[in-house]
Amino acid sequence: MKQPFDYPPKTGFTRELIPALFPMFEQASAGAIAVDRQSRVTWINASYLNLLGISSPDSVVGKPIQAVIPETRMPEVVKTGTPILLDIMEYRKQQLVVTRLPLFDEAGAANGAIALVLYDDLQPLTPLVSKYRRLHQDLLAARKALAKRTRGTRYSLADFVGASPAALEAKRRARLAAGRDMPVLLLGETGTGKEVLAQAIHAISERTERPFVGVNVAAVPENLLEAEFFGVAPGAYTGADRRSRDGKFQLADGGTLFLDEVGDMPLPLQAKLLRALQEKEVEPLGSNKVQSVDVRVIAATSRNLEAMVADGSFRSDLYYRLNVLEIPIPPLRDRLMDMGVLCEALLESICNSLKLRGEITDTAVSALCGYDWPGNIRELRNVLERALTMGDESGVLDAEAIFRVLPGSVRRPVNVEEPLPPRPLAQVMADAEAQAINAALAASRGNRSRAADILGISRSALYEKLAKYEV
């Protein structure tokens, strides 16, 4: 029978080595087959015949190999002259590990190919495949952990604590934003948790494996903002680094860029930011080359951007570009019903960091509800941490412990120009009773007997109303 190797390969073994090496390859394999330049079978050994369930080589020699083995990739090897060193081929519900090598004529053109079945059963490879999969999973987990430590997120949507209607609406919109790759504008006072919500949106979006880069616009000097955003080319100005420096857009490429206090951005930079968002490209400072970037922007501000647009201090086109999905974040004074769960969550975090134990009573929560919270949740955490630090070893925070560290009460402004919408009389009376009970508890520093005396009702009646209004 004519041997499959008539000519030396284009690269690799010499003609002298081939006759000596091929019998070893054939013996070590579970089957071997060769084709010509038209991908017709020219030779097949007995092992491959048994594997294919064919009795005689005469029934396959001269036929196109795809008529014998439909799943083969031998024509591809002949056409390209490129070997396929390792492949898994399906044949009649059997998985074969195959290597395919091209054959070359004296002119260096592919004039055939040979395939060797390395394994006709994947069972011997199971330990190797399992080890590879385990190492691959460990690598992915390590990369994810590294991304979290470097340019990842610390907060999830569970960290935005609250069950009040305003808090639930903010979380609903956050989930909506996470499912759509669009710019988001977070509106809220300082300390309300804008960055927590921004990180939560990134963490549950399709960009979660990519960087999350945050920059506080108000904290960067105006003359450095352009370099901070778009990067710096080598030697862009006197004293600049000889190496290029990536800006926040380049660092966030593929991920999310969080622009905190975007209302403090100067007008000249607003125009460049708008172009970067529209064209999806940036030009580093001192460079004439543009770089393409794929960045999802989440902006946040505590300022009234609509008023700034009206007086010309904020570009209207940038405002509409950023405000595709708006998420208002309510101040703490408008979600006092969340005070209890917020205190529990904050105390858990504080106790873990300070290695302390702590709990809060319902009278302490009532005392906290009597304050206006201009610093919102950030201020609440500060008050709880001070109360826990200055309290006794029991770690129990009652109303007295809160009043010792709580600043003087701040009265909430009443807008007399906008009357309250009409409500049922029963609801008005219920709200008034709840406010009166809160005020009495605050005045009595949590002493319920004194609060009942102030209200002119019995202590049992006070307990009934506390349960009724969930005060």
Pick the CATH number of 332-405 from 1.10.8.60, 1.20.140.10, 1.10.150.120, 3.40.50.2300: 1.10.8.60
Burial class (CB within 10 angstroms; exposed 0-12, middle 13-18, buried 19+) of 410: exposed
What tokens were used for 376?
């919102």
Q: How far apart are CA 450 and CA 445, in angstroms?
A: 9
Supply the pLDDT for residue 176: 94
What is the separation of C-alpha 373 from the centre of its chain, rounded to a whole number of angstroms?
31
Residue type, 306: E
Distance CA 207, CA 195 (A): 17
Residues 6+ apart with CB under 8 A from 344: 360
Query: Cα-flanking dihedrals φ and ψ of residue 57, to 5°?
Result: -65, -25
Domain ranges of the chain: 17-121, 124-151, 156-236+244-328, 332-405, 425-469
CA-based nearest residue to 29, from 5, 47, 9: 47
Per DSSP, which regions of 134-218 are E strands?
A: 184-187, 212-216
pLDDT given at position 418 = 44
Alpha carbon distance 93, 115 (integer Å): 19
Give, in words, the CATH class of 156-236+244-328. Answer: alpha beta
**Residue 399 contacts residue 366 (beta carbons within 8 Å):** yes
Q: In this predicted structure, what is the pLDDT of residue 148? A: 52
Q: What pLDDT, on the 0 to 100 scale, is given for residue 284?
A: 87
For residues 238, 241, 244 and 245, what is the CA-based torsion angle, rounded to 10 degrees? Answer: -100
Of 275, 366, 360, 284, nearest to 321 (Cα)?
A: 275
User: Are β-strands 256-260 and 296-301 bridged in parallel, bridged antiparallel, or unpaired?
Assistant: parallel
pLDDT score, position 316:
94
Which residue blocks in 69-164 are alpha helix, DSSP H? 74-80, 126-151
Angle, helices 194-203/165-178, rounded to nearest 10 degrees: 40
Which tokens hold the place of 396? 């129990």
- pLDDT given at position 9: 46
3-state helix, strand, coil in the chain (%, to 5): 50, 15, 35
- 3-class secondary-structure state, position 222: helix
Which class is domain 17-121?
alpha beta
The CATH code of the domain at 425-469 is: 1.10.10.60
Beta-bridge partners for 449: none
- Each of the 471 residues of the chain gets a pLDDT tens digit; together they read 445 544 444 444 444 555 666 677 777 678 888 999 899 999 888 888 888 888 888 888 999 999 888 889 999 999 988 898 888 887 777 778 888 888 888 788 888 888 888 876 666 666 666 676 677 777 767 666 555 554 567 888 889 998 888 999 999 999 999 999 999 999 999 999 999 999 999 999 999 989 999 999 988 888 888 889 998 887 655 455 566 788 899 999 999 999 999 999 999 899 999 999 999 999 888 888 888 999 999 999 999 999 999 999 999 999 999 999 999 999 999 999 999 999 999 999 998 888 888 889 988 998 899 899 999 999 999 999 999 988 877 888 988 889 989 886 444 443 434 445 666 777 777 777 888 888 777 777 677 887 888 888 888 788 787 877 666
In this prediction the pTM is 0.58
Read off the tokens for 249.
């857009």
CA distance 40 to 60: 9
